[in-house]
Structure 1
């Protein structure tokens, strides 16, 4: 079986975003593995409008070409890893908006998170897990939480993420689970009667 394709969704678009430090670091760790293939999916590259479709994408096609482009990318992937900045105790508006632009494409695929901020993005990640369940994803337990001390030290240039082994250990555990769930759920999806008929 091919390695599961995991989309690293960069969930912030603000200037000087911390995600620009997270994405290369987590991508480098993923590149060491032979059980998954990570692909960068940056929300800056998708000009998604505020979600205003008359019907949920669960029930009808979107009228917006950019929404359909997003849906096509989500459909290509076997799982997701999202960077989760925490704004006012919740996830970013742009990430929630992007999630609302698809539905079936996410179903029965795992999702993991790299959170950051004063409490490691934990509150944003918890909300994202609830959203993921509604979208019929399988959020995994293990995540990477870059807490305040590490977050501010990296922001100030006093250290780098690759110099913090406790974060790498968190990432390894998360990747172990994400790769397992991605493989198992991919096999299950491909074994469904509807998938066999379409082949």
Structure 2
């Protein structure tokens, strides 16, 4: 391994944490705050929060060869550089009707190269299933964007009774263990893929 690659693997990772829900009364920001509190103790990572309630992307994308509207360009200028700079992603998502929020799919569809050859982890919440059905659908979507999904995820079951007022899980030890396990996988994949992209651009 070259000295340059060694230096890359000792540099902190940039991780974009995406809050997927935009509904009024959502729990997403509280869940994200809890996760960031756990993740902050891991070391070796710096986090950027992307709250989709603050990203005003239109639902309709331009066709092939079309140009984004001024509204879309303004929203993209705010979010695209964060995704492009990220070495990895964590999606904080609820489960709506056995799936994930439309705002998240819209964000994914507006981007392409920003996702490629990078890892993504999941923190899900919702009902008895803990949002796992949303995560399984997201694995299929991210596979199409050439993004590597982490095997282990963080699943918060029954959040309306399983979360404290500050958004922290009541079964803190179990949930923190799951978060640390997922972050360990994310760290390995993010550093490995960052080195690989530097040595040979993806798709080359």
TM normalised by structure 1 equals: 0.87
CA distance in 1, matches of 2:156, 2:93: 10
Q: 1:140 aligns with which of 133, 144, 150?
A: 150
Q: How many residues align?
A: 189
Q: Is this contact kept in 1: 2:19–2:52, CA < 8 A?
A: yes
Q: 2:57 pairs with 35, 48, 60, which one?
A: 48
Residue 91 of structure 2 is matched in structure 1 by: 82
Output the TM-score relative to the length of structure 2.
0.85
Deviations 1:130-156 (A, max 9, x none): 1001011101111000112xx122457
| Structure-1 residue corresponding to 2:19 | 10
Please give the per-residue CA displacement for 1:27-68, whole angstroms capped at 9, x wherever unaligned.
01111112222211111221100032112xxx8874531235
Find the residue that maps to 1:104 and give its secondary structure: coil
The answer on 1:153 being equivalent to 2:168 is no
Is the aligned partner of 1:106 residue 2:130? no
Q: 2:196 aligns with which of 179, 185, 188?
A: 188
Name the residue aligned to 2:138.
128
8 Å CA contact retained: 1:109, 1:182: yes
Q: 1:51–1:101: 8 Å Cα contact kept in structure 2?
A: no
Q: Distance in 1 between matches of 2:136 and 2:168?
A: 26
Matched, 1:164 2:172: yes
Unmatched runs of 5 consecutive residues or more in structure 1: 195-199
Structure 2 unmatched ranges of 5 or more: 1-7
Matched, 1:30 2:39: yes
Pick closer, same or farther for the CA change 1:62–1:104 going to 2, 3 Å. farther
Larger mean CA deviation between 67-76 and 7-16 belongs to: 67-76
- CA deviation vs aligned residue, 1:86-105 (integer Å, no higher than 9, x gap): 10000001111111110011
